[in-house]
Structure 1
Amino acid sequence: MRVHALHVYPIKSTQGHDLDSAEVEPWGLADDRRYLVVDERGEMITARQLPRLLACRAEVAGGTLTLTGPHADPLLVRPAAAMTGITIGRTVVELRDCGDEAAAWLSALLDRPARLKWLDDPTRRPINPEYSRPDDRVSLADGYPLHLTTTTSLAQLNDWIAETAIERGENLPDPLPMRRFRPNVVVDGVTKPFAEDHWKRVRIGDLDFRVTKGCDRCVLTTIDPTTYTKGKEPIRTLSKHRRWDGKVWFGINLIPDTPGHITLGDPVTPL
C-alpha cells in the first residue's frame, strides 16, 4: 500500500489543492484548515450552506495566504490584530480576524456579508476526549487532524452507486471523484474495500498515527465541486451499504503520534 495523493484545504470548506509532500504537525498537515469563513453574526459558514464557497481557492506560500476566485482579482490576505471567539462544534476557539479587504472579497463571492478568520495558534483547540489524549489538538477540521481514504473503497462505492442507478432505472452516473470526500491522505493498493475500518494504528512513511474512528459523512459530499449543484449520491448509496449508529461512513480519522514529512509513494502499513 502506498500514498496515492495528498491534499490540503487552507480555508475550511473551500477548494483543496494537491501536494507532492506534506509536513505533518501535531494538529494536522501544515496549512490545512487554519482559516474559516463566518457570517455577520460571527457564525461559521460552510459549503454545506453556501456551495459557492467551493469557488474559492486559497494557497499558502511563505506563510502568506492568497485568495483566488472567479469574481475578482487574487487577494493577498493580511490578518489584523482583532480576536473573536467562534463556536466550532462544542468548543469556543479564539480566532484572529483577517481584515476588511478579505471580508469584502469573500462577501462579493458569496453575495452576502462574510469575514475570514485565522487560527493563529492551533494549540487552542482540543479534540473530543472520547477519542484522544489530553494534549492532542486539532486545527479547524471537523474533528480530527487528518482524514484518510482509499481508492479501493471508492471503487467499491462507485460500483454500488451504479447498481443503485440500474435498480432505479436511472442513467448510469459518472464515477464520483475522491475530491467529494475532501481527504488529506489517499491510499492505493489496499486489497479489500473498507479494510481501513479495522485499522487501529497506521504507519505512513516513517510516521505513526492513531486511528480515532471512522468518518461520518454529511451533505457536503453530495455537492458537485465543479458545478456546485446538489445530488443524492453518495449519501443515498452509503445509507444502503454503510449505515450504522444513525450515520453513514466513508474513510477514517487520524491523530499523528510523530511529526515529520510524508510524500507521495510512501509505504502505508497498518500496525
Structure 2
Amino acid sequence: MTLSAATPSAPVPSSEPALALSSQFQARLTELWIYPIKSCAGVSVSQAVLTPFGLASDRTWMVVDAQGDMVTQRDFPRMALIQPIQVPTGDDAMPAWQLQAPGMANLPLVPNMTSMPVTVRVWQDTVSAFDMGPACGQWLTEFLGSNSAMARRPLRLVQFDARHKRVASLTWTQGVEALNQFSDGFPILVASTASLAELNGRLAQQGVAAVNMRRFRPNVVLGDTAEHALLPHDEDRVGLMTMATEEGVPVQLQPVKPCPRCPIPNIDPDTALTAPVVSDTLQQYRQDTRVQGGITFGMNAITVQGVGQALRVGQHVSADWVF
C-alpha cells in the first residue's frame, strides 16, 4: 500500500523555498543512528537491520520514575551525557550494551525478559516492560539526581516487552499498522544534511555556532548524490522512499508525519547545557500547517517493505515527489 506523505488535505508550509525539481528525488544514506535508551545519547552505526519495530536496538530501553512514567531530557538534560556502548560479542550472540557517563563506572546492561513485566507509560500509551533491576536504577538516580534542578527521586530502567503491540497513529499511517518500542510515536525518523545546513546558515547570521545532527535524533540522514544536491527539507516533500540493498531486496520507508520539535534540540549533546536559540530560530521559518503550526524538523516514517534487511551508509535512496 502506498501512502501520501501526509493527510490528503495537508498543504506544504508556505515558507518552503521554491524548487527546481528533477523527475525523481535522489539521495544517499549518509548517516544511521540508533538510540538504545530513549532520550540518552545516540550511537552512529554503519549498518542496522530493519525490524518490525524500526532499526534493531533502537529505543529498546527507557528511564522511568517511581510511578512508571517516562523520563526524558526535558526532565533531566544530563541524560544527553549517558552514552550506550556496544560490547563485542560472538557473531550469533545478541548485542550487548553498557552505559558510560562522566564520573560513573560503566554499567553493563543485561537483557531481562524472564521476570514479571511491569506497566509503564510513554506519552499516552501504557505498555508492558521488564525492570532492569536495582543496580541500573541506582546508577541512573545517582548520575541524574546529582546535578539537576529537579528533586532527587528514584529512577528505574525498563526494557520494552516485544510481545506488546504499541501501534503508531493509524490516522497518520492511513490505517497501516506500524509498531514502535519506546520511540515518541513512529518507528523511524528521517532528516537531511541540507535541512541542517539551512538551520546552521541562519544560526551563523546571528553569530551562533553551528549545531550538529545529534540535536535532532534522526535514525536516517539523507545527503547529496554525485548527480543530485538536496534542498532544505526535501524529505518533507517525498512519498515512498526506496533504498537499494546489497541483498537485492529493497527497503521501502513511507514518510507519514512531519516531526514536531520539543525543546530537546536546545540541549547541547556534549555538555547538556540548554539555550533556546535553536527553537527560536526554527520558529522563524518552520511553522508547519500540517501539524497545526507546530515547529517541525524531519519526517516520521514507517516500514512498508524490507523487515530483516540491512540499511547501510552509502545506499542509494529514491522517491517520487509529493506535494
Report TM bin, short chain: over 0.9
Q: Supply the RMSD in Å over aligned alpha carbons.
A: 1.5
Identical-pair percentage: 30
Q: Give the counterpart of 1:72 among 94, 98, 104.
A: 104
Amino acid at match of 1:72: M
Q: How many residues are matched?
A: 264
Q: Which residue of 1 aligns with 2:121?
A: 87
> How far apart are residue 60 of structure 1 and its match?
4.4
* Alpha carbons of structure 1 residues 156 and 43: separation in structure 2 relative to 1, 3 Å: same
Do residues 125 (structure 1) and 166 (structure 2) align? yes
SS of structure 2 residue aligned to 1:157: helix
Which residue in 1 is equivalent to 2:132? 98
Q: Deviations over 1:133-179 (max 9, x none)?
A: 3532111111111111100111111112223x2xxxxxx11111111
Aligned to 1:24: 50
Map 1:1-271 → 2, pairs under 5 A: 1-61=27-87, 62-78=94-110, 79=112, 81-111=115-145, 112=152, 113-121=154-162, 123-132=164-173, 133-163=175-205, 165=206, 172-189=207-224, 190-205=229-244, 206-244=250-288, 245-258=292-305, 259=307, 260-271=309-320
**CA-to-partner distance for each residue in 1:66-124, whole Å, 9 max, x for gaps?**
12222322122233613221122222101110011111111111123110000030652
- Structure 2 runs not aligned, ≥5 long: 1-26, 88-93, 146-151, 245-249
Structure 1 runs (4+) deviating above 3 angstroms are none
1:39–1:66 Cα change, 3 Å? same
User: Which structure: greater helix fraction?
Assistant: 1
Q: Distance in 2 between matches of 1:261 and 1:123?
A: 24
Contact 2:202/2:281, CA 8 A, preserved across alignment: yes
Larger Rg: 2
Contact 2:128 2:164 in 1 (8 A): no
Q: Which amino acid letter does the alignment assign opposite residue 18 of structure 1?
A: S
Residue segments in structure 1 that go unaligned for 5+ positions in a row: 166-171
Distance 1:13 1:131 in 2: 23
User: Do the aligned partners of 1:82 and 1:96 also contact (CA within 8 Å) in 2?
Assistant: yes
Query: In structure 1, how many angstroms separate the alpha carbons of the residues matched to 2:60 and 2:48?
Result: 15
The answer on whether the counterparts of 1:31 and 1:60 sit within 8 Å (CA) in structure 2 is no
Please give the TM-score of this superposition, normalised by the length of structure 2: 0.78
What does residue 168 of structure 1 align with?
none
CA contact (8 A) 1:10 1:58 kept: yes
Checking the alignment, whether the CA contact within 8 Å between 1:46 and 1:53 is kept in structure 2 is yes
Tell me the TM-score normalised to structure 1 length.
Answer: 0.92
